[in-house]
A and B are shown apart, each in its own frame.
Chain A
């Protein structure tokens, strides 16, 4: 099966090369047969990558310990669930997994548009094939996952060997989230390839209008949704498994996942400027280019160990390939841009400081500044080594100092932006739209202060959260009221009806609401407490209003590990509340042990109890307990963000009504829209939903 798999990958490489070169000729000659055959080659590439990936999984499920990759990442007793995850637990497998997910996207794109956009698709196909060639080169010639185990024999020959069992999967990865987090994040990283291919393709083809933006909107949102989900799942994994009481450490790998998310978010907003006003064309094209470059950079940072090398850990030669690829993409983008930049001329100019446009402009500006800050902080050790001889790294204070104000500014714009009119907003409409939300926001701040949340940034954050939530709810309320007046349905039904009529707009608001909830959770971090104590059975410790009593310790053998468990009774105000069981897992295979944190989570706070190991002084077991306020809001907000993204991906119900020939309803303005756009659409305005 390993030969079969590597053969499939080689064939995939050949097909991709054909799709690339043939595609270029197809663009030049416009020969219909050539166009068709290169598209088929693109589809074949994807199919072959699927075959290659499934062959590797087959090796895992058959416990084929003649394969080096399987030996390194699996063992017989590993649960099937984790045998799936073992695929992406190492270098070679993750790179194959990148190709696999990209192949799913490419396959879908080529199938969906096989009879559409005939002028544009050959260009898109060439770009996609180019990206696939790079990853298939790595899969085939640099980091093949199908290497067999062998020992050197006489005369330079090699003897193949088969082991009885494998080394097992890294214990830290044997956790359910570790099975779903990497696919989500990788689906985000790979997903941005599609908008990139369309943007570059449209630029090269000088494809008229904003069609590429309409075409890629859904793809961008899918990638963005996966990326958001992946980042939050990773944060939750770090929180629940690594046992240091936090969820975000500004670790280079975490930062790498945040970078394309920041520019992707900027892009999702700035496309509206192009759709509505024909502005920011250059900016949008470059945002897509940069987002894709950051996806590759993110993979590069994760895979090459260039930053981790500063931490004296293993370095990889694969970095040079990525660096080369990044340079090539950058050159291609630059050349494409300078040859076709006249095609990107803006049709309008900014009219006023207080307008929807300017809110988008500032949104983009600070997202980009945040991105630059995070990128430079992450790469600081590398840059400082180039510029001076010393390697300097920066830590959490650097990232927090810049990103907390940026986050709050963004939160403010989230509340303000949607209520501002395009072009220019009058003082009168400002008063009408903002009086109530402002009052509610200030009340929220006062309530937070009264509840004891007294820290400057946190108070600002709570105030803004209440303000933004109020603006979002008022938007739904006003829209629903109009529908309710006409249909007589309940507020809830009217609200759903409203959302379904303009999924993009109201789905977007739901995403904003999710972000508000996440910010509430983030603001809680200023009030975290932790206590660490050497314990023995019978001893107690105090944190906040909780008392922890270590009743006993036991050891429980499981199939793949032994769990050393603490039985901790939790009391609040001297009343018995519950039992918590923090544990350490000692794996049977040669893997580092894992921590299982016990968390008692409420909306108010998380009681987070870690069995932290043996004290260096007394050799007694140590409990490290944390009291983290409001953390649950982050995970809940994440779920709301995903829900909003899904809503925004749905087609508008209005479009269905038009098709079913109920013509009268079509031309009417959407409820709520008249309030924020008190003028008739002028020729300067375009189609599209805000």
Chain B
């Protein structure tokens, strides 16, 4: 019985410390996902945390300024003005009507300030469900910048 207790303690120590680390990592990296339509209904803390928003780039709205790129995302019949302020060049797939995923924060004036933009060119994907993403590879056209 004592042997079992020893193993139990060993296992518990490992599992508890890993759960603790997981909890730390969760707090550090959690990102909320919202649709464009949900944004106006966010209040308090919910409106200030880091989030991802997806939508389609409205044709003709991409404007390049010094230090930032502005465009309008559309989805579910609503639109969202976005300012991209990141330093990385925008992906080649980022064009009119492409599907884009922006990550950043909501500014008080309702504008979305994005630090990261991922884009997929809509025409490359079948209208039918499924898409043509590479098997067992990162979704084609997206460029992941996080990680190890």
Residues of A within 8 A of B (CB): 72-73, 88-92, 94, 97, 143, 170, 172-173, 178, 181-182, 185-186, 230, 234, 237-238, 242-244, 246-251, 253-254, 256-257, 298, 302-303, 305, 308, 310-318, 350-353, 358, 361-362, 365-366, 369, 373, 381, 390-402, 405-406, 409, 522, 525, 532, 584, 590-593, 612-617, 622, 624
Contacts and interface: CB of A to CB of B under 8 A. Distances in A.
A172 B143 CA distance: 11
A249 B118 contact: no
B88 A310 contact: no
B138 A254 contact: yes
B31 A395 contact: yes
A89 B132 contact: yes
Contacts of B141: 172, 592
A316 B18 contact: no
Given A308-B133, A381-B33, A616 B22 contact: no
B130 interface: yes
A11 to B, nearest CB: 25
Contact of A397 (B28, B121, B131): B28
Nearest to A246: B147
A566 to B, nearest CB: 14
19 contacts: A90-B130, A91-B130, A170-B132, A237-B137, A238-B138, A242-B143, A246-B148, A249-B145, A308-B133, A310-B52, A311-B142, A314-B129, A362-B14, A391-B33, A391-B34, A393-B30, A393-B33, A398-B25, A400-B148
A311 B139 contact: yes
Interface residues on B, range: 35 or more
A144 to B, nearest CB: 12
A242 B89 contact: no
Contact of B29 (A88, A302, A353, A394): A394
A614 B91 CA distance: 10
B130 A592 contact: no
A581 to B, nearest CB: 19
A635 to B, nearest CB: 15
Given A313-B131, A590-B123, A253 B136 contact: yes
B92 A613 contact: yes
A590 B124 CA distance: 8
Q: Which of B26, B46, B84 has the most CB of A within 10 A?
A: B26
A186 B138 contact: no
Contacts, number: 236
Interface in B10-64: 10-11, 14-15, 17-18, 21-22, 24-26, 28-34, 46, 52, 54-55, 64
A371 to B, nearest CB: 12
A592 B6 contact: no
Interface of B: 3-4, 6-7, 10-11, 14-15, 17-18, 21-22, 24-26, 28-34, 46, 52, 54-55, 64, 66-69, 75, 84, 87-93, 99, 101, 118, 120-121, 123-126, 129-148
Given A170-B124, A393-B33, A617-B66, 4 more contacts: A97-B135, A257-B136, A303-B130, A613-B92
A399 B144 CA distance: 15
A532 B139 CA distance: 25
B29 A397 contact: yes
A402 B21 contact: yes
Q: Which of A89, A178, A313, A350 has the most CB of B within 10 A?
A: A313
A89 B31 contact: no
A617 to B, nearest CB: 5
Contacts of A244: 143-145
Given A94-B135, A178-B137, A253-B136, A393 B31 contact: yes
B56 to A, nearest CB: 9
Given A243-B143, A391-B33, A593-B92, A73 B132 contact: yes
A353 B6 contact: yes
A312 B99 contact: yes
Contacts of A398: 22, 25-26, 28-30
Nearest to B120: A313
What are the 9 closest A-B residue pairs judged by CB atoms, nearest first? A312-B54, A401-B25, A249-B147, A398-B25, A613-B89, A395-B29, A249-B144, A391-B33, A314-B131
